[in-house]
């Protein structure tokens, strides 16, 4: 019964994606109560339960239809897709949404001072990684033959230990590479978190909730930077004002009682409104400027 009516979503139990995943779900309106074992979260106000697992297990859980949905890094998904393909198995997960967290890149890095021109410079080198399939695809794409040294972690110290000449690992700020005297030479994959789902048809109730969740995620992601701006301006300055409003489509223009040559303008700006923009608007004749955060948006 439950299997047919409640969605099951896999989320990383404890790691970089945990807080932003729970945050986006909360912003989508989900109230979760977590049991003592902390392995399951029960959706109190939506038929959606969260299963907390290691990120590497998320594609498998969706693949095996244990979970309907998963929140995981594109790097994990793409590595898994290639690993399955290598075994002649088709990946059973569809990407539904790109999410605006978990940003990083899978890069190849070499010790400082190494001569590097292009991918050809990797020929014959030993490259340590936890992403052998993505690295293999990159090398094949560039027609380079190199030795892939598959490790389960601590990739960044492999060159110092003499186990590799280069590494292929995730980078976000670059400080881990710098601390290990490594420099990035190639980007293999630009990554971010994604929402995946099973391609298997879901019961209509569940499907309807997936659609609702997606609409809410879109709303949440759109409003992040959005601002609602209100101002007064001379009618004659309208074209200039519209040009200055960042990312706004069609502002609402309201006549001002007793001031035929002035109007009030209300607009949603899809980008942040900086002081510089406000100063520009003021210089164009605007007054009574007010910028408000947007909490929810539904197109
Ligand atoms: O226990 P579990 O298996 O669930 O967690 P995990 O240790 O495998 O994953 P975790 O929490 O480290 O990362 C989860 C996901 O976050 C990854 O799959 C990526 O999609 C994403 N992500 C974003 C990152 C990073 N940024 C990142 N910087 N994952 C790992 N790193 C590591 C990287 O491997 C390197 O060791 O951080 C170091 C580099 O960081 P900088 O900032 O020094 O460049
Ligand atoms: Zn992991």
> Is 195 touching ligand 1 by the criterion CB < 6 Å?
no
Contact call for residues 59 and 193 (beta carbons, < 8 A): no
Does residue 174 have its Cβ closer than 6 Å to ligand 1? yes
Q: Does domain 104-190 have CATH number 3.40.190.10?
A: yes
Percentage of the chain modeled with pLDDT above 90: 89
State if residue 79 touches ligand 1 by the CB under 6 angstroms criterion.
Answer: no
Best residue among 39, 168, 172 to mutate for probing ligand 1, ranked by most atoms within 8 Å of CB: 172
Distance 176 CA to ligand 2 centre (A): 18
Domain ranges across the chain: 3-102+193-222, 104-190, 227-293
Ligand 2 center to residue 56 CA distance, Å? 5
Percent of the chain with pLDDT over 70: 98
Q: How many angstroms is it from 117 CA to the middle of ligand 1?
A: 28
Beta-bridged to residue 10, according to DSSP, are 51, 70
pLDDT (tens digit, 9 = 90+) per residue, 47-96? 999 999 999 999 999 999 999 999 999 999 999 999 999 999 999 999 99
Classify 227-293 by CATH class.
alpha beta
Q: Do domains 3-102+193-222 and 104-190 have the same CATH topology?
A: yes
Q: Is 2's pLDDT higher than 60?
A: no
Q: By CB neighbour count within 10 A (0-12 exposed, 13-18 middle, 19+ buried), where does 232 fall?
A: middle
Measure the CA–CA gap between 93 and 67, rounded to whole angstroms.
Answer: 11
Work out the pLDDT band at 3, boundaries 50, 70, 90: low
CA 277, CA 31: separation in Å to the nearest integer?
38
114 pLDDT above the threshold of 80: yes
CATH number of 3-102+193-222: 3.40.190.10
Residue 3 burial by Cβ neighbours in a 10 Å radius (0-12, 13-18, 19+): exposed
Per-residue model confidence (pLDDT) at position 249 = 75
Report the alpha-carbon distance of residue 93 to residue 57 in Å, rounded: 13
Ligand 1 pocket, residue 57 CB under 6 Å: no
pLDDT, tens digit (0-9, with 9 covering 90-100), for 199-252:
999 999 999 999 999 999 999 998 888 899 999 999 999 999 999 997 777 899
């Amino acid at each position: 019964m439950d299997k047919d009516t409640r969605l099951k979503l896999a989320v990383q139990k404890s790691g970089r994606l945990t807080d932003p995943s729970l945050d986006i779900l909360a912003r989508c309106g989900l109230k979760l109560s977590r049991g003592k074992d902390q392995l399951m979260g029960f959706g109190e106000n939506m038929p959606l339960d969260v299963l907390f697992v290691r990120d590497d297990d998320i594609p498998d859980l969706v693949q095996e239809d244990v979970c309907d949905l998963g929140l995981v890094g594109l790097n994990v998904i793409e590595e898994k897709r290639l690993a399955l393909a290598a075994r002649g198995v088709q990946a059973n997960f569809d990407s539904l949404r790109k999410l605006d967290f978990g940003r990083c890149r899978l890069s190849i890095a070499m010790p400082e001072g190494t001569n590097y021109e292009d991918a050809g410079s990797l020929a014959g080198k030993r490259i340590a990684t936890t992403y052998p399939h993505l690295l293999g695809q990159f090398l094949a794409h560039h027609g380079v033959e190199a030795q892939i040294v598959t490790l389960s972690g601590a990739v960044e110290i492999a060159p110092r230990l003499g186990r590799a000449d280069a590494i292929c690992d995730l980078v976000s700020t670059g400080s881990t590479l710098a601390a290990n005297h490594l420099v990035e030479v190639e980007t293999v994959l630009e990554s971010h978190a994604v929402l995946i789902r099973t391609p298997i048809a879901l019961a209509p109730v569940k499907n309807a909730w997936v659609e609702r969740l997606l609409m809410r995620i879109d709303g949440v992601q759109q409003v992040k930077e959005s601002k609602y701006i209100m101002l007064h301006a001379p009618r004659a300055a309208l074209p200039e004002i519209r040009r200055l409003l960042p990312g706004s489509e069609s502002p609402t223009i309201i006549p001002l009682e007793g001031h035929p040559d002035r109007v009030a303008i209300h607009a949603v700006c899809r980008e942040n409104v900086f002081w510089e923009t406000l100063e520009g608007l003021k210089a164009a004749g605007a007054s009574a400027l007010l910028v408000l955060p947007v909490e929810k948006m539904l197109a």
